[in-house]
Amino acid sequence: MKKDNGLYWLLLAVVVFVIDIASKFWIVKNFFLFESVNLLPFFSITYVRNIGAAFSIFEGQRWILAAIAFIVSTVIVYMLYRNKHKQKLENFSLALILGGALGNLFDRLYHGFVVDFLDVNFGDWHYPTFNIADCAICLGIGVFILSNYVKPKKTD
């Protein structure tokens, strides 16, 4: 078995998953649907349910979205297995994406929808409500793109 791989980064994915799921269960237990608590002039905690994907696209396609998340998660685990342990930036990004994908997959399978609660708005502009898994996925994608531009220099 290959030991010098990125599978050690699965621990980060588990941490992201646990924080995401714990936050969502806390919201479901302590908020009514659509209840909102304003924390800052531009930020609220608002409990909503998303039956689609990002920005509610593919609404009502629970099983298709679950299948996509499962396939993406499987591919990411394989990529971590194939990556070298020293590919820290790429492995970090993949672990964030994996943890977030699994968090939203869990919601789809357990609740039938994704629990969203982070609500940002500036004046009349309102960003779609999101969750910690979404943050991890977006950050992971950004770092993944960056990691493919910041490659270590090859030495001969």
Residues known to be catalytic = 116, 134
DSSP state, residue 94: H
Judge contact between 99 and 17, C-beta under 8 A.
Answer: yes
> What stretch of H or E contains 36?
strand 36-40
Strands laid side by side in the 36-40 sheet:
36-40, 43-50, 114-122, 125-126
Positive/negative CA dihedral, 147, 86, 133, 71? positive
The alpha helices in 31-154, defined as continuous H runs, are 62-82, 88-110, 132-147
H-helix or E-strand spanning residue 119:
strand 114-122
